[in-house]
Structure 1
Amino acid sequence: MTPEHCLYFDGKFIPARMLVNGGSIAYDRSFSRYDYYHIETADYSVIFAVSMPTESYLDTGDRAAFRQTGDVIPIPKRVLRNWEMDAAAPLLTARREVEPLFRLLAQRSKELGFPPAEIAAQIVKDSNLHLVTEEGEILRPTRKVEDRVVFTLPAHCRQVRIVSRAARPSDVIGPFLDDRRHLGVLLSQVTLWDAAQTQDIDLGELSTSGWYPLDGGLRWTNGDALLPVETREFQHSRMLALRVVAGGPYIEDDRATIAA
């Protein structure tokens, strides 16, 4: 079963990846290639695979990615379906409903004698937040005041990368959390100033790499976000303040410092 394939519980479908406990439900990484056959019924249905209730194939637009072998060539009817109108049962991904089932299955796995999942890495809260200039110079914070992290930018600096650890909530909190974004830090404000002026950089206007879409005036980085800071001619160093409202937990990894 692939991670995205759904299992059927109490009248609802839940993606298998959200129930992985490392014991009774685990990823098999012993091979990298395999043949996979979809089973499609006239109507999208609940079917049983080795006594496990699961789903038949629902064509939501990915049929063109299938590989056909043999002399028989199908002529698809190309009637696309969707979860809202054609699902045999509702799709469930909300943490408040998935986590209790995850905990129940994890406890059952333990009672059945499956070994506990190995801890792959240390979980840390420190974001290791820093900047990297165009020349590859690493800039550490000069001071921190509550949620504001302040950096000194060298003269003639035109852009910096906001670099930090990044992690997927589904990895560091649990697979029952349906958030697989690689999240760095969540910013509410970016301020640039020198002796002459102070300027707030509009987070919503940033179109450079490394940023997730603006959400309620806040914006996540992916751990390596490009920030232009060239606003006018300048000859002296300037200050850059990042207001960090959230971040972490993270998986400890010395690769958090990214070279230019």
Structure 2
Amino acid sequence: MTTPTIEPWVRIFSDPVATGRAAAADIAAELRRVISRQGEARVIFASAPSQAETINALLAEPDIDWSAVTAFHMDEYIGLDADDPAGFGNWLKKALWNRVPLGTAHVLDPTHGADAEARRYADLLAEAPIDIVCLGIGVNGHIAFNDPPVADFDDPHAVKVVELDEICRQQQVDDECFDSFDDVPTRALTLSVPRLLDAARLFCVVSKEGKAEAVRATLLDPLGEHCPSTILRTHPGCTLYLDADAASRLRATLRSTLGA
């Protein structure tokens, strides 16, 4: 059951599983609608443990014509071997792409040159409009690998090489994707902020207490690159799904502001 929210586009649930199920139901409904209307859907997926509940619930949704889906992912490390399980493309293949009969899955692969791969992937993205983005928010407020304060809301690039900040890299250790901080690559490819926001619908899922400050900033701080996820407030087709822990700082701030 949802609890009261401060914005009509924000939904709060009791735990990560309930949050993921609600998001998956909405994503599935949008997939069915888009495929019924135009015969195909182009979708960008986040690749992170925080999205596992949503992906598992999406796999259980009935009547999705996965053969009509063209899939992308939004970021990838530079410097990992092509078959490294920590690679986001490999994570997403195991979690979703290899479990449904996808029409097409486009994998970011910087192993043969990051700049060339950025151009190749940008061209693939530009072949037709993106219908859906399934994303999360990082501990530092990043979306994809657009870290503060260098995230650019007016970025002219669709896909680019970035340097990862220390908070972002530590998150990957805390999420048990790497054994140590030094194991986390320092560079990555990422879709830019404008490229993500160019999609028709955004479904953003955030859970656990470690993201609570980023959620508070997303909804209550001034719009700006200091917290890249604040830009989500400007997108008319974005829905934010939170579990109770991720929403905890938000509620505390509201109680203080309202004197409750």
User: TM class, shorter-chain normalised?
Assistant: under 0.3
| Bigger strand share | 1
Larger radius of gyration: 1
